[in-house]
Chain A
């Protein structure tokens, strides 16, 4: 059964896109397709210049490891790994990304510590705190560091601020946008008040032809029908 049908969805390089929509509107499914975890049953999906619809699952996994960063709503960290190990997790699955961070393991560890320092977690690293000892806000910052390490081209954030208070949320978004530098950011939330911090806002109703039936049909002939 088709759950999502999108006429056209384009994110420019370096663009900060705010994607909003109510629960169950298909946001997470769309992110799964963009991240290459789900594949479209028909149509074309081009990510970072690569035709995802023709790539194998392993190639999509590799592209995700090399060039994407993902931040979840909560429970972002692997609890049995240290903060630095959590940050360097993408390097485990991507030699390309690892080499972008630093040529040596020691260099990568130093880079992870620096990045965590930039995100205000110097003390937590030096105290060797475990992921479970951090507040939700601190955990989200570690997750941001993991998404940012190695300078990915695309950062996907799936409602990362929903568990944060207003002050922590604002600080987190500011840090994320600052540290993302030239990367495209797809930030999903149903908190419409955050929209003005991004370059562009897209609602799921605009995208999903199945759910947004009242919208006028989009002009681009390419369609992606997604099943999940």
Chain B
């Protein structure tokens, strides 16, 4: 039986207060870890969502808003970009590629993205990783659709399944594009980005379902079933898109291209550099992040103060126990370390329980949290970060034990072998 075992048995003998103390530390550690993991996960997820895109061009608006609706499918565009403007900027000699995107419809709570097949060739995420198909092919026909991995899994869609899309973000019976069903021709590999939660169709498909619609209102009497082969190609030519992604041949052209978009006289447009817009986003949410982190740290401080209170409260009732230990040869420093060990053990168990709870809870509830947040939060798993935070809690628990340890040390010197309480 060593000092650690003695410290543990002493704590275990006061089971109720020990459990409550551990619980307090566990909850506070879980809160701090949870906040940090979600914060880091969100940042990482945002930063991993788009790569290799030099500029995003949309209607004149704030750069954060443009970034959020075009890449993260959060919020709505203020206006569209005319097809003529798109063609003007897409046709420039310094442009390597462009990907038009058209948003505004949805299916089963998932955004429908109208785009060209260039999207599958040029859109990159993470470390410039290309999108790849888990099964099927990219769309070729007007009513073909390629599903993100999460859409296919959630809605249990397979290749060949057909579905209608709705006008707007939420499905509303009166705004469904009925009689114009899309057919699943491809399902993408998971990317842990908003792509997973997107239904991809062609720009022509988006135009086709809106044939006969006027200002967002369905045709009187309902839309008739369409045979795309009978449609006039002019009807499928988009008038406008929501935004477009641009890849330039040379990075040195980025600022010039951006300036020319921003000063384009024919239409009020904005061009944003994704990395710069993300930095602006972090600056905007930075204060809230710091406040949240500060609160979490204060909660941990409260938990550790509870630990200190518990041990200090027990000191007086343990004077006899300490006198007995002294009588059998325990040194005053053994008494000191006994209290420090107890504090450290409780902090360590609390930190461990908190780490396990937060990781299990975040893994189990990742989907609902992501749904609530509106964007992927990355993978929740044990990382070095957990060890730093849990280690920090244990270290502070160790230091917190110095005060009761020192008091017990002093007490043991004055009490000697006789304790009169």
Contact = CB atoms under 8 A, between A and B. Distances in A.
Nearest to B329: A65
B16 interface: no
Contact of A90 (B6, B12, B329): B329
Contact of A28 (B9, B328, B417): B417
B328 A92 contact: yes
Interface string B83-127: 000000000000000000000000000000000000000000000
A72 B1 contact: no
A54 B416 CA distance: 19
B301 interface: no
Contacts of B6: 92
Nearest to A71: B327
Contacts of B334: 93
A158 interface: yes
A78 B417 contact: no
Nearest to A67: B329
B240 to A, nearest CB: 77
A100 interface: no
A92 B9 contact: no
A35 B417 contact: yes
A58 B330 CA distance: 9
Contacts of A75: 320
B416 A81 contact: no
Contacts of A89: 1, 324-325, 328
Interface in A33-83: 35, 37-38, 57-58, 61-62, 64-66, 70, 72, 75-81
Contact of A35 (B2, B13, B327): B327
A89 B333 CA distance: 17
A88 B329 CA distance: 12
Interface in B303-355: 320-321, 323-334
A205 interface: no
Given A70-B417, A85-B1, A79 B331 contact: no
A31 interface: yes
B10 interface: yes
B363 interface: no
Interface residues of A, number: 34
A32 B418 contact: yes
B321 A64 contact: no
Interface string A90-130: 10111000000000000000000000000000000000000
B133 to A, nearest CB: 64
A141 interface: no
A93 B330 contact: yes
Interface residues of B, number: 24
Interface string A15-38: 000000000000011011001011
A154 B177 CA distance: 98
Contacts of A61: 326, 329-332
Contacts of A62: 329
Contacts of B320: 72, 75
Contacts of B327: 35, 64, 70, 72
Given A28-B417, A57-B331, A58-B331, A72 B324 contact: yes
A65 B326 CA distance: 9
A38 B418 CA distance: 11
Contact of B417 (A66, A79, A94, A158): A158
Given A58-B331, A92-B1, A78 B418 contact: no
B13 A90 contact: no
Nearest to B1: A92
B13 A72 contact: no
A11 B2 CA distance: 34
Interface in B1-38: 1-2, 6, 9-10, 12-13
A5 interface: no
A210 interface: no
Nearest to B11: A80
Contact of A32 (B2, B329, B332, B416): B416
Contacts of B13: 79-80
A49 to B, nearest CB: 18
Residue in A66, A75, A90 with the greatest tally of chain B CB atoms within 10 Å: A75
A52 to B, nearest CB: 14
A228 interface: yes
B328 A65 contact: yes
B417 A37 contact: yes
A78 B10 CA distance: 9
A221 to B, nearest CB: 28
A61 B326 CA distance: 8
Contacts of A90: 328-329
A65 B323 CA distance: 13
A186 to B, nearest CB: 12
Contacts of B12: 80
Given A31-B417, A158-B417, A78 B321 contact: yes
Nearest to A89: B328
B65 to A, nearest CB: 62
11 contacts: A37-B326, A61-B331, A62-B329, A64-B328, A64-B329, A70-B417, A77-B324, A81-B9, A92-B1, A93-B328, A228-B416
Interface of B: 1-2, 6, 9-10, 12-13, 320-321, 323-334, 416-418
Given A57-B332, A61-B330, 8 more contacts: A32-B418, A57-B331, A70-B327, A72-B327, A89-B1, A89-B325, A90-B328, A158-B418
Interface of A: 28-29, 31-32, 35, 37-38, 57-58, 61-62, 64-66, 70, 72, 75-81, 85, 88-90, 92-94, 146, 156, 158, 228
